[in-house]
Amino acid sequence: MGSISNSYLETKNLSKSFGSFQAIKDISISIKEGEFVCFLGPSGCGKTTLLRCIAGLEIQSAGMVFQKDLDISNLPPSNRDFGIVFQSYALFPNLNVFSNISYGLINNKWKKDDVKRRVDELLELVNLTDHAKKYPSQLSGGEQQRVALSRALATSPGLLLLDEPLSALDAKVRVFLRKQIRDLQRKLGVTTIMVTHDQEEAQTMADRIFVMKDGEIIQSGTPNEIYTKANSPFIASFIGSMNFFPAVISNSNQVRCNNVEIYCDTADFKKDDSVQIAIRPEDIQLKKENSDDNILPAKIRDIEFLGSFQRVYFESNNITKDLIIVDVPSVNARKIKLMPNQEMDLYFSREDIRVYPG
């Protein structure tokens, strides 16, 4: 609903320009208390600028920011309530882990014992208890990022901002930290905004994703909604893989691609509209499952082995010059024994096809 009383953080018509370049345009969003949201988009889409405006690190050109119904648009960052973690960790190199984490506590006039207790608690939370005396340069990237996270959480801020926190890390560490951050966030219930360009990261961590492009939010929703009901070809191809075929509406619930008729839901379109139909690689089957499935004869051109599934490239000149990507679970692929140049029929259900304006 986005009514003020229901939201923890809200932006209203937020814009920011750098010279003549508009980094974000007229953004209005609302985030509930305890929610984990992601700003997802390619580099240069304005997601970091949006985060920095919320933090007060950039001053918006127009618009307002509310936190707990309070207008914080004009407050400097030091008067706002948030903790922040950067891609570069930004740990103070001359202070050890303990001093880094307690950095914000000492200023708030905490007693010495309380500071120690709080830091110990945080170190345990991120499994770094033995590292308190070490300097940042003695820690691995993943460990440094956990220290940065503890430092941001030390003063128990109401809002946690994560600016590409995992982008500088190795693939394995990244997957491990994804889960640790997510678990920590659930445990503490802190409202969290993460900026990322990695769609997998956003999908696995967020309660809600805001997909951004050219300074605007082009879709928001749960990871599942974004994946299955992408509202534009851009999002459909940015999040996961997608096959696209140009087509023309030939009848109600029927389109023509080249000279193949395909059945799908065309409710939003008129006859003779030119459209793009899209289908995910995993939604194309090698066996008939429903009686009303679309059928497409095709020939295997290439097979890539990707662990749990195999990506098979099919050629079907009747429908498109591009290759059609089909993901086959490895279990099935082993049974069928796929070989290049093999000819077979592809099946896909009409419910799995999405239709976009051409």
Partner 1 sequence: MKLLNFANMRRSKDSSDRVGQFMLVSYIILFLLFLVLPLGSLISKSLQNKNGDFVGLANYNLYLQEPALFQSLYNSLFVAVSSTVIVVILAFLFSYALTRTCMPFKGFFRLIALIPLLSPSILAAIALVYWFGNQGILKEVLLGKSIYGPIGIIMASVYWTFPHALIILTTSLSLSDSRLYEAAEVLKTSKLRAFFTITIPGARYGIISTAFVIFTQVFTDFGVPKVIGGNYNVLATDIYKEVVGMQNFQMGAVISMVLLVPAMIAFFIDRYSRKKQISLLTSRSVVFKPKKHFKVDMIMLCFCSVLALIIILMIGMAQYGAIVKFWPYNLNFTLKNYNFEVAGLGWDSFYNSVRLAFYAAIFGTIIIFIGSYLIEKLRINEGTRNLVQFFALMPMAVPGLVLGLAYIFFFNAKDNPLNFIYATMIILVVNTIVHFYTVSHLTAITALKQMDKEFESVSLSLKIPIYKMFWRVTLPVCLPPIFDISIYLFVNAMTTVSGVIFLYSYDTTLASVSAIHLDEQGEVAKAAAMAMLIVYVSVAVRLTHTIITKKVLRKTQAWRYNIIDSN
Residues at the contact surface with partner 1, assessed by CB under 8 A = 13, 55-57, 59, 61-64, 73-78, 80, 82-84, 86, 88-90, 92-96, 103-104, 107-108, 131, 134-140, 143, 151-152, 154-155, 157, 161
Measured CA to CA, the distance from residue 242 to residue 240 in angstroms comes to 7
Q: Which is nearer to partner 1, 93 or 307 (CB)?
A: 93
Q: Which is nearer to partner 1, 94 or 290 (CB)?
A: 94
Q: Which is nearer to partner 1, 161 or 319 (CB)?
A: 161
Burial (0-12, 13-18, 19+ Cβ within 10 Å), 193: buried
Kindly state the smallest distance separating residue 165's Cβ from partner 1, in Å: 12
Kindly state the smallest distance separating residue 57's Cβ from partner 1, in Å: 5
Q: Which is nearer to partner 1, 13 or 251 (CB)?
A: 13
Sign of CA dihedral 161, 4, 188, 186: negative
Integer CA distances (angstroms), 238 to 221, 244, 284, in order: 15, 13, 19
Q: Which is nearer to partner 1, 143 or 293 (CB)?
A: 143
CB atoms within 10 A of CB 311: 15
Q: Are 343 and 299 in contact (CB under 8 A)?
A: yes
Kindly state the smallest distance separating residue 92's Cβ from partner 1, in Å: 5
Kindly state the smallest distance separating residue 107's Cβ from partner 1, in Å: 5
Q: Which is nearer to partner 1, 155 or 332 (CB)?
A: 155
DSSP lists the bridge partners of residue 314 as 300, 324
Sign of CA dihedral 315, 317, 319, 320: positive
Kindly state the smallest distance separating residue 193's Cβ from partner 1, in Å: 13
Q: Which of 159, 154, 1, 156 is nearest to 68 (CA)?
A: 159
Q: If you search the block for the tokens 């075929």, which residue do you land on?
A: 245
Kindly state the smallest distance separating residue 151's Cβ from partner 1, in Å: 7
